[in-house]
Structure 1
Amino acid sequence: MSSKITSILNPADITKALEQCAAGFHHTAFFKASGLSKKTDDELATIFDVLDGDHSGYIEVEELKNFLKCFSDSARVLNDKETSDFLAAGDSDHDGKIGVDEFKSMAKKT
């Protein structure tokens, strides 16, 4: 677990959220269980920076596939359907990636 993430989210909540995703991932359930949905814009921006592994300013498809791994090294990779559903939910401008404002908006919709 990234120390940036655990400085914002409770590790026990992260573990609970990851356990709920074992059988299937849905972003709203994960955001709610992990506590992401209750975080401030600044806190969400910090989490976004961790998720944006290549620091491009966007979370692209490969980063979405590895979304859960940012929260735990032992977490699974999202399958293609979960990844495409996650992208469709967050990519409001339809550019094929999720920007920080889209991420914040998605987190707060839960």
Structure 2
Amino acid sequence: MSITDLLSAEDIKKAIGAFTAAESFDHKKFFQMIGLKKKSPDDVKKVFHILDKDKSGFIEEDELGFILKGFAPDARDLSVKETKTLLAAGDKDGDGKIGVEEFSTLVAES
């Protein structure tokens, strides 16, 4: 399954384009722009599993830095600051990574 099986390629392209400048990434706006906020809980979980590149059941800090590439291969990497901000927003239990339930909560809060 690819990300474009769940989300519109056009919406993804627009969202990636909106955050090309360094330090401009806003996960709340991004999740809304790509239409993830409107998806069913099952679809949000499917997107999580696509973004979990090492299939560990978690999106760790190093994977978060490349999260935009999970949506579009030519997207930029997040800065260290953006990555830490996203991790802080999503890591509810303080274990240094985002699990599927935490990701679902992060999207729902957007």
TM-score category (smaller protein):
over 0.9
Shift of 1:55: 0.5
1:15 to 13, 16, 21: 13
1:105: which partner in 2? 105
Q: How many residues align?
A: 108
Q: What is the identity percentage for the equivalent residue pairs of Structure 1 and Structure 2?
A: 46
1:78: which partner in 2? 78
* Aligned residue runs from structure 1 range 79-94, under 5 A: 79-94=79-94
The residue identity in structure 1 corresponding to 2:7 is L
Query: What SS does the corresponding residue of 2:55 show, helix, strand or coil?
Result: coil
Stretches of structure 1 that go unaligned for 5 or more consecutive residues are none
Q: Following superposition, which runs of at least 4 residues in structure 1 exceed 2 angstroms of deviation?
A: none
Say whether residues 1:52 and 2:52 are aligned partners: yes
Stretches of structure 2 that go unaligned for 5 or more consecutive residues are none
1:34: which partner in 2? 34
TM-score (norm 1): 0.95
Query: What SS does the corresponding residue of 1:53 show, helix, strand or coil?
Result: coil
Aligned CA RMSD, in angstroms, stands at 0.8
Q: Check whether the contact 1:4–1:46 (CA below 8 A) recurs between aligned residues.
A: no
Query: What SS does the corresponding residue of 1:98 show, helix, strand or coil?
Result: strand
In the alignment, the residues of structure 1 paired with residue 45 and residue 2 of structure 2 have an alpha-carbon distance, to the nearest angstrom, of 11
The residue identity in structure 2 corresponding to 1:15 is K
